[in-house]
Amino acid sequence: MSRVALVTGGSRGIGAAISKALKAAGYKVAANYAGNDEAAAAFKAETGIPVFKWSVADYEACAAGIAKVEAEVGPVDVLVNNAGITRDAMFHKMTPAQWKEVIDTNLSGVFNMTHPLWTGMRDRKFGRVITISSINGQKGQMGQANYSAAKAGDLGFTKALAQEGAKAGITVNAICPGYIATDMVMAVPEKVREAIIGQIPVGRLGEADEIARAVLFLASDEGGFITGSTLTINGGQYLA
């Protein structure tokens, strides 16, 4: 029987690449999304992957959404915590709302998604929790105190939970992408994009498929001895 994978933020960008790669590898995939109904519908039509709408910032919505996924697709074996937002501002101008929105989605959202699935993974003696953090959670970034704090918190969560899951057959890992050629990055002015590429030793942006391939390995049986790890995929921009 195929294993079931749930990808948050799974209908666009890096999440879409992960969802597609998991399906191609034989997983039954469910993609969560928060708000863009049009993009989610187009993704479902293109891939045949079912989509489920809820905000990862809301614990009760996560628990209800996961229950629906498990009823329709099956018990979740692989969770990819990919959903994330930005609310960038220099710290002296950052509002409490901008701080809270990012922490609630990018950090608390990882708890909100993982916690309802944890008991089932423990009972079945198998699980994969893979969280997409960021290069800026490792090195920090001006104008992103909220985002950097949340993404750094994801790494601490990963290291702690890996120790709890190991004896139950659950691995918990994180991936820190650098700058990836998603629609968001490609939409920035060309001069800004060129400046970013100039900081990357390999001389190019990453591809979403490169992140997806790393997820596939960590999700696989072959990745079963890797837990509590952070995989850095940034073209050499920051060496951790």
Catalytic residues: 147
What is residue 3's DSSP assignment?
P
Q: What are phi and psi of 30, to 5 degrees?
A: -120, 135
d(CA 133, CA 157): 11
Cα–Cα distance, 113 to 60 (Å, whole number)? 10
CB contact at 8 A, 40 and 51: yes
Q: Where are the alpha helices (DSSP H) in 25-139?
A: 37-47, 59-72, 96-106, 108-124, 135-139
Give the C-alpha distances (Å, rounded to integers) separating 15 from 19, 21, 120: 6, 10, 23
Sign of CA dihedral 214, 219, 223, 225: positive
Count Cα atoms within 13 angstroms, Cβ side, for 43: 27
Spatial CA neighbour of 133 closest among 112, 161, 158, 111:
158
Closest by alpha carbon to 172, among 224, 135, 213? 224
The answer to whether the CB of 75 falls within 8 A of the CB of 120 is yes
